[in-house]
Amino acid sequence: MRPRAAALVCAVLFAATGTLGAAPVPGLPLPERMADTGGGGQLITAEAPDTGSTTGALTWWDRRGGRWVEAGSASARFGAKGLVEGGSRRQGTRTTPTGLYGLPYAFGIAPRPSGADYPYRRVTKESWWCQDNASRSYNRWSEPLTADCRAAESEHLITYDPQYRHALVIDYNYSRPVRGRGAGIFLHVHGSGATAGCVSVPARAMRQILRWAKPGLRPHIAIGTASGPTALTRY
């Protein structure tokens, strides 16, 4: 992980404490009020009212003509224990990490949605996400499950239906994993309630997002809350 604090713009942006902004600027889209949007041409914002919330809104945006334009929106769910700053999160706390993250690839139990061209990996009966802190495969797709990764500490991906019918990997603790910080943070389809730390949206919205996302435009996801202090952390 490579954390970097960004400067304030109009005192409104995602914060290291999990906050997205203070008073809104009338007529100014949310990404325009952020100091850092990842440098690409697409952005997803996942906003909760406060750090204790388990629900909120997710919006996806395109950069067009030097401005951010909303491409779609949906209801969102967060961790059962709310949100926490990504750098201080601990595994098993059922909290969603705040911050700005890349989206390395998509995956799913179902086939890639028609019209989608984002890198996509199909789930099989042998597909696991290793969450065993002692494993060399920690916070990685494992197919089949590696010998040093305990099944009891991992997710058998095919058993998470409907959640993993379609999903995007969120680059939280992924590029340079820190043991104990958490593994398997995704943007995925709603389950029966709050998540274990991921962000979820309705199934239709997840398909729309996968059709919208273009790898050449380097989409990122920014997760935070609607009010509070200071600076954003990019991971």
Q: How many residues does the chain have?
A: 235
CATH at 51:
2.40.440.10
Q: Domain span at residue 172?
A: 4-234
The per-residue DSSP string of 106-151 comes to: EEESSPPPTT--S-EEE--TT-EEE--TTSTTTTEEESS--TTS-G
| DSSP string over 53-114 | -SEEEEEEEEEETTEEEEEEEEEEE-BTT-EEEGGG--TTS--EEEEEEE---EEESSPPPT
- Say how many domains are in the chain: 1
Tokens 């992980």: give the residue: 1
Q: Given this model, what pLDDT does residue 191 score?
A: 98
**pLDDT tens digits in sequence order for the chain, 235 residues long:** 333 322 222 223 343 344 454 444 555 788 988 889 999 999 999 999 999 999 999 999 999 999 999 999 999 999 999 999 999 999 999 999 999 999 999 999 999 999 999 999 999 999 999 999 999 999 999 999 999 999 999 999 999 999 999 999 999 999 999 999 999 999 999 999 999 999 999 999 999 999 999 999 999 999 999 864 333 455 4
CA dihedral over 104, 161, 113, 95, signed as positive or negative: negative
Residue 80's pLDDT is 98
